[in-house]
Structure formats: C-alpha cells, structure tokens
A and B are shown apart, each in its own frame.
Chain A
Amino acid sequence: MSARPLRRSARTTAMCAMLVAAATGLTACGGLTPGGSSAGPAPTGPVSTALPTGSATLTIVSSENAGTTKALAQAFHAKHPNITVDFQYTGPDDYDKSLNLKLSSDQAPDLALLNKLGTTVKANLVRSLDDYAKAYGWDAKYSSTELDQWRASDDGKQLGTGHLWAGPAGFSVVGVFYNKDIAAKLGITPPTTRAEFDAALAKAKAAGELPVQLGNLQGHSSFIVQSIVDATDGAAKTSDWVNGKAGATIKTPGGTAAATTLADWAKKGYLPDGANGTDLPGSVAEFTKGKGLFLFNGSWDAQVIDKAAHGKTGFLTFPGESGKATGIGTSVAYAIPAKAKNPDLAAAFLDFMNTPEAAQIQFDTGFLPVAHADTVKGAEGNVMNEVAKGWAAVNKDNGLVNFFANTDATMGDTLTSQGQQLIGGKIGPEQYLDALQNDWTKGHQ
C-alpha cells in the first residue's frame, strides 16, 4: 500500500514540471494575459481618394454568397484593369467565428464584411471611415438611415450614433411573400391593414390552405415577431431597442402583440407542424411548392423564389396600425481593417458601391441598391420588382429597422430557443418577452 503515495508524488513532480513548461511556453507566446498583445489603436491620418497607378490587389473576405460582391469586384476590375480583386468566401457560421482572428492577423484583408460590429470596434480591429466619408461626400450620397446602421460608439455597444465603421454594399429587406395562386383562388387581395391580414389567414385556414409557411430550426420565427413589433411600435422606437439605447424595452404594446400573435398562430394551426425542425431554405422550398399563403422572408431569397415559381409570388411589407411601411433590413457592409495594407484602395471600392452601375449589379444579384434605387429594373414579372417597390416605401417612411438578432451577441441564440419553445407551447408570450429583455439587458449593461 505504501507504494501509492510514492507514485502520487512522482505524478505531482511531473505535473509541476508540466506547469513550469506551460508557463514558459505561455510567456514565450507573448504575455500571460490573454489578448494582451492584440492590436493597438486604429490608425488615423491623411486619406487619399487617388487610386494606385501601378498594379495592385484588393483583398476582400466575405460571407456573402449571392454573388453580389464578386460581380461588383469584376465591374471594378473592368473599370480599373490594373487592380485585381481577390475575393475570399467563407460560410456564414464559420466566417463570424473566425473574423476577429482574420482581422488581427498580419495578413489582414483590405475589406472585410461585417455581419455585425461585435467586438471589432471595441478591439480596434477596424478603422473609422469618417475621413473617407468626408473625402467622398458619402453623407450626401446615402440616406442617413442607411449609414446610421453602421455607426457606433467607440466601445461598440451603442449603435446608430458615433463614428462610421462600415460602408454598405447592398441592402436586404424582410417582408411577406405571398402565393398569388392561392390568393386568387380564395379571393384574397394583398392586405393593407393588420385586420385584412388576419382575415386572409383565417380564410386560408378555412379553405384548407396553410396560412403561414415557416422554418424555425434556426429561429426564423423572429421575422414574424419583429415584423409585428416594427409595424405596431414604429421603426424609431424599435430601432432604439435594437441599437441598445439605455432604458429601451421589448415589453411594449408591439412586443406583447407580436409574442401573443406567434403563440396564437401556432395554436390555431396557422404554422406548419414541423416548423421547429425545418430550416429557412427548407421552408422556402415548401413555399415555392405551393404550401403556404404567406412566407416571412428576406429579399435575399427573392431570386430563388422567382426561379422556382416565376410570376406566382408577390411581396408586401407587413401592414401595421399606423399605415406607415416598415421593414427589417440591413446591408451587406464592408469595413476596412485597422491592419489593411491598402485602405485608400478599399475606400475607393466602397465608393464604387453608390454608382448607378453598381446599383444595377446589386439589384440583379438580389440586393436592394444603396443608391439610385429608381434607376434599377428587373425582368418582367420578377418578384424582385415588387420587393423594390416595398423597399422604396420603407425608405420613404424611414421604416428600416436592423435585425433583432443583431442587437447583441447572444440574441440570435435566444430568439431561436425561445421562439421554438413559444411555438411548441412550452412557454407563454410573457416568458418569451422576459427572456428577450434579459438577454438585451445582459448584452447592453
């Protein structure tokens, strides 16, 4: 028996040796405090709008797979043959998770897509675009709501105000797609008020049609919830919540109406049975097969829907109490990393986004143009044209609100798990809103 302590002491010695080795290794790797050696303050200084005359390469990292950025890059290269654009695509999930590492590496790209600001601003990983905005006159070229989505305080927590951190390269807007065949068969005209919308749902259900198609495996019931909140409370008030303005809450008349409505729709059988086990592409496929009168979805799927059911689909913005058009949406936006080697060239590419030429490319590839929306035109009968009309109405009424999922780092997961439970009848509207608000408080305190 006495041999056991002996063995243990040998093990302890080994452990100590390993600890010492570990400590040495860590010190060699640049400090024992994690993150202690990361980037310093973001560079400022004179900026230039001149393009390089010799050959140059602009590197872009992105998770945008509609082909917009690629097409824009080709057009940019055609205009400036001496400039090559190196476009590197990564799938959305992996992209966000590895972005900070890419930005802080010595091989940082010249432009990086931001799905959200995250910790990039706080960690000084991207540079403020204020100087470029001034040099290129972006404030005059873009509507303020478009650029405001990418403004933030220096700690990155309060959005919608402060320095500009990214430039938009095409917008998405979420609204309601509807099946024109089913609508015509049931004598439903595109609803313009909430009452008409509810009547259409009841009519569809009574006729044995599925009222609302939904895939909630990744939490897209949040589109329904937010559409109702935006339309009920108005864009300004909802934006305050999304932007993290102190004192904002989701427990508003709109929030309550939204959560109650979603639970109610699930109870009444307005949503498909397998919603919690179907992902967004799955629900789009079902919708284009003719299952469902309405589908809450973004313009990014408009081309997919049009291809599968050309001429059979319409688009409307969710009708609200106020009669003003609202829409959930944000842009594909590119930031210039603090460590970018060609910041001036990157800014020139961002400026190219607001030309009429870029507008048509953005529209053709499924995005709504950042400027010159009145000049773009799609093929006859393409649902994109209706989406563009909705987009124009939303902009006219200042009705664009950023995605709920973007309000803080964990909100996407919360919306997913709480939305699944609400639809599954595991929790009630009250608990749903509590969970959202708790997450918000944690993320913005």
Chain B
Amino acid sequence: MTSTPLREPRGTAHRATPPPGGEPGARSQARAGQPTRTLRVGPRRPAGRKVAYLYLAPALTLYTAFVGLPWLHTVWLSFFAWDGVTAGTWVGLDNYRQVLTDPALRASVLHALGFIGFYSLLPIALGLLLAAVIGGRGGRRYPVSRTVLFLPQVVPLVAVGVTWKWMYSTDGIVNQGLRAIGLGSMTRAWLGDFTWAYVAVGLVGTWVMLGLCLVVFQAGIQKIDTSLYEAARLDGAGPVREFFAVTLPGLRAEIGVAMTITVIAALASFDVVYVTTGGGPGDSTTVPGVLIYRLAFTNGEVGAACALAVVLSALIALVVLGINRITGEKD
C-alpha cells in the first residue's frame, strides 16, 4: 500500500501508451479489412491471434498483478475516508469533490504542466542539437560525452535532488561560479527564491532528461538511410539544411517516444521536487506528486490521496494519448 499512490501515475500512463507499432497496424487492418473481406488472411487469422495472447500471457499476468490491480485498488480506496490505519468509511465521490475544488491542486497541476517545458521540450531540443553535432551518423563519435550525458539517467533521482540542493545553496557551486565570473550580484539561495526556485527545479529535470533524449535520437540517426544524406548533399545542402530536411523528419518516431517518456516524467514529477524544495518556498513548486504524498503520509487522508492519484493518472493518460495522436500519424 505504502508506495501505491506514488507509483500509480507512471504505471497507468504507461498502460495508456499502446505498444509501438501495434495500434496503427491494427487500425489500418480494421479500416482496410472492413469493406473488402478479401483482405482477411483466411481462417488461420483468429488462431494466430490466440497464440499471440498466449505469448503475451506471462507479461500480461505480471503487469496485471503489479500494475493493474494496485491501480484498481487505488481507485477503490479513493471512495473511502481512510487514515491509513483505522477502518475507513465509504464517502463516494467526496474525495474527488475535495481534491477538484482545492485551489492548491490547481496551482500544482499548473506547475506540473509547466514542467513539460523543462522536462520535455528543452531536453528534446537540446538532445536533437547534440545528437546532430556529436552523434553523427555512420560512426560512434564522442562515446565519452555520450556516456557522461547519459549518466543522470543512471543516478537515482533522490541522489540527484540532494546533489543539486547543495549546488544551489548559498555557498554552493552555482553561486561560486557566478561569483567567479563577476556576477556576484546574481547570487541567491536559488531554492528559497520565490521567482527562481521553480526554474531551478525545472532545470534539474532538464539535466536528468537530456541524456535519455540524446541516446534515443542517436540511435534513431543510425537508422536513417545514408543515401538520403548523400542526396541532400548532392543537392547542395549544408549541415543545417541537412538536419532539417533529413535528420528531423527521420527522427519523428523517436521524438514521439522521447516526448511520451519525458511528459510523463514531468507530470508525475515528485522525487526531485520533494528532495530539493518540498514544494516551497510557499507553494511555488508544489506538484500533484508532492500533494499526494502529503495527503497520504502526513495528513493521513489516504482516500483523498488516492483520488488525486486517479485524477493525475487520468490527466497523464489524456496528454499521452494526445501526443501519440500527433506524433503517431503518418501523412
């Protein structure tokens, strides 16, 4: 139970993400298959599908047991007023009414949406740039930089938070650096500043996500047909033109994947915020994840925490479906 509300958003959103390739395929099959039956591949088709389910069974069972059922349990708990210990009482939709009318919740959702800029857009833009510059096709250039940039993905987010908390402190490395380059007047305790705390936390997210985006894009670049680059070059395209004409369109699927992962991370953000600011100063960096944690473990309102978790997972599912619609459709 302890970690259920925290895990939910990620798990649920993941559920909402169709397996890559599967969905569009099924759709075109259905569309094409309906008017002309001849396209159906005969009686063997249903049997094949059954076999497919058999292959899926182990993963599906595990997924149901460790993601599906806990999520449903969370939904169930959201209908109770429960302090986590004594017997709960059924309150129907009261918890939802409570969390949806709470102004603190609205602010936290806005903060989470704003984090999409830091966790998602910025790392994707930077990742594309870096992949084009250091990734290069046809070779494994700069393996060291790639490893270094991927490191944030390997470090636990709590450790990331603690480290950045030191770096942002009054005498931390960020302020030391500013002083060293003569910007001593800009120094401040970044995480305690009402204007800058949000940006400071957001940039930690950028740092964490950048490596992932870079690696995904580099892998994608390897896959782009080299003849396209040759053709572009013959047509007299420079590196910039080449990037926009060949690399960017070729990375469409990878951008979609990176977008999905990073947007989920932004909306479900918790660890970094909790460790660095705890939602402060005031409530300037609160995100739904922090509120869920507070409701469940500080306030002893497990039901309300579960309701908020369900609302958050619904929001994430919606946003991710939207992303898939945009990036998944081919023209």
Contacts and interface: CB of A to CB of B under 8 A. Distances in A.
Contact of B190 (A4, A35, A277): A277
Contacts of B297: 96-97
Nearest to B296: A97
Contact of A277 (B77, B90, B188): B188
A217 B192 contact: yes
Interface string A116-151: 001100110100000000000000000000000000
A18 interface: yes
Contacts of A409: 298-300
A153 to B, nearest CB: 15
Nearest to A285: B171
Given A1-B31, A277-B191, A420-B281, A38 B85 contact: yes
Interface string B80-94: 101111111010000
Contacts of B299: 409-410
A3 B280 contact: no
B242 interface: no
- Which residue, of A21, A34, A278, has the highest number of chain B Cβ atoms within 10 A? A34
Contacts of B281: 276-277, 417, 420-421, 424
Interface in B101-135: none
Given A409-B300, A420-B282, 17 more contacts: A7-B26, A32-B76, A33-B87, A35-B83, A38-B85, A38-B86, A104-B85, A122-B85, A276-B193, A277-B169, A277-B170, A277-B190, A410-B298, A412-B298, A420-B280, A421-B282, A426-B282
Interface in B26-80: 26, 30-31, 33-34, 64, 68-69, 72-73, 76-77, 80
A207 interface: no
14 contacts: A2-B34, A18-B64, A18-B69, A33-B87, A34-B87, A34-B303, A35-B88, A216-B192, A274-B170, A277-B281, A409-B300, A413-B298, A420-B282, A421-B281
A337 to B, nearest CB: 13
A84 interface: no
Size category of the B interface is 35 or more
Contacts of A66: none
B300 A119 contact: yes
A277 B190 CA distance: 7
Interface string A375-386: 000000000000
A25 interface: yes
B252 interface: no
B109 to A, nearest CB: 17
Contacts of B26: 7
A199 B25 CA distance: 79
A326 to B, nearest CB: 28
A409 to B, nearest CB: 5
Contact of B30 (A4, A33, A100): A4
A304 to B, nearest CB: 18
A154 B2 CA distance: 26
A86 interface: no
B30 A282 contact: no
Nearest to B175: A274
Interface residues of A, number: 52
Interface of A: 1-4, 6-7, 18-19, 21-22, 25-26, 32-36, 38, 96-98, 100-101, 104, 118-119, 122-123, 125, 216-218, 272-278, 282, 286, 409-410, 412-413, 416-418, 420-421, 424, 426
Contacts of A36: 87-88
B301 to A, nearest CB: 9
- Which residue, of B33, B76, B190, B298, has the highest number of chain A Cβ atoms within 10 A? B298
B72 A35 contact: no
Contacts of B7: none
B73 A22 contact: yes
B189 A119 contact: no
A210 to B, nearest CB: 12
B168 A277 contact: yes
A100 B298 contact: no
A126 to B, nearest CB: 12
A218 B279 CA distance: 10
B230 interface: no
Contact of A33 (B69, B88, B190): B88
Contacts of A274: 169-170, 188-189, 192
Contacts of B204: none
B70 to A, nearest CB: 9
A98 B1 CA distance: 11
Given A26-B73, A277-B169, A417 B283 contact: yes
Contacts of A96: 297
Contacts of B69: 18, 21-22, 25
The 6 closest A-B pairs by CB, nearest first: A277-B192, A274-B189, A277-B189, A276-B192, A3-B30, A123-B85
Given A33-B87, A34-B82, A38-B85, A420 B192 contact: yes
B294 interface: yes
Nearest to B88: A34
